[in-house]
Amino acid sequence: MRKNAAHTYTRLAQYTAALAVLSASPQPAWAQDSGDFKRWAVSVNATRVLVSENAPDITLAGGHVPGSNVRIGDATTVTADIGYFVTPNIAGNLFLGVPPTAQIDGAGSLEPLGTVAKVNYGPIILSAQYHFNNLGKVHPYLGVGVGRIIFLNARDRALANFSIDDSWAPAAQVGVRYELGAEWMLNADVRYVPFSTHATGSLGGAPVRTRLDIDPVLTSVGVTYRF
């Protein structure tokens, strides 16, 4: 599971190196005129959340449960991001969306429990972005920032009194926009938002605790309006 995270970091590094080479090319005249560009960009996206997870230390009544783990299902949701361009290349970006539902199932020795809990969740991510404006209608970009992972509406299944903590997370992003006209663009991006959190509950009256290491990859496609 952490192997997937290392692979994602490697791919992001490769994209970063490639775009750094592209950025050495001269920018078009319109991008060099600091007064002649649209500062706001609003995108609406369809986003797929791909989850890699690990629960390395599940305890029941204070004792470790051998061979135990959990599995968290992937999800699809609607997201939006709002960007403000300080210069033609540098922008701040706020990303948020409709909280999807995570189904948490027992895995390993806990697989017979089936679904242990359900919870809605949603990242709110604030990023700094660098946009490359030297490829005509194609605008690749990179982003780094911080996210707050918020959990809502926890529902018990095999576990009773299920609770999971909100968490902070670093965020890395690579994306591209394609101009359709003066204001409209198509947008596609990938965000990597790894985080750890803690969850608690009870099983047959005995307390259950665990740390969750979660490595979500968010892939989005959508439309952007510049103004």
Residue 85 CA from chain centroid, whole number: 22
Q: Low-confidence residues of the chain, pLDDT below 70?
A: 1-35
Q: What digits encode the pLDDT tens for the residues 60-110? A: 999 999 999 999 999 999 999 999 999 999 999 999 999 999 999 999 999
Q: What is the CATH number of domain 2-25+60-226?
A: 2.40.160.20
What are the beta bridge partners of residue 72?
A: 104
Strand partners, 151: 121
Bridge partner residues of 173 (DSSP):
143, 191
Q: Where are the domains of the chain?
A: 2-25+60-226
Question: What is the dihedral sign for C-alpha 226, 18, 50, 69?
Answer: negative
Q: Can you give the pLDDT at residue 4?
A: 53
Interatomic CA distance for residues 148 and 98, integer angstroms: 14
Q: Is there a contact between 88 and 134 (Cβ–Cβ < 8 Å)?
A: no
Instruction: Quickly count: other Cβ atoms within 10 Å of residue 150's Cβ.
Output: 14
Q: What is the largest CA-CA distance in the chain?
A: 69
Pairwise CA distance, residues 196 & 149, whole Å: 10
| 224 CA to centre of own chain | 19
Contacts (Cβ under 8 Å, ≥6 apart) of 205: none
* Residue 100 DSSP label: P
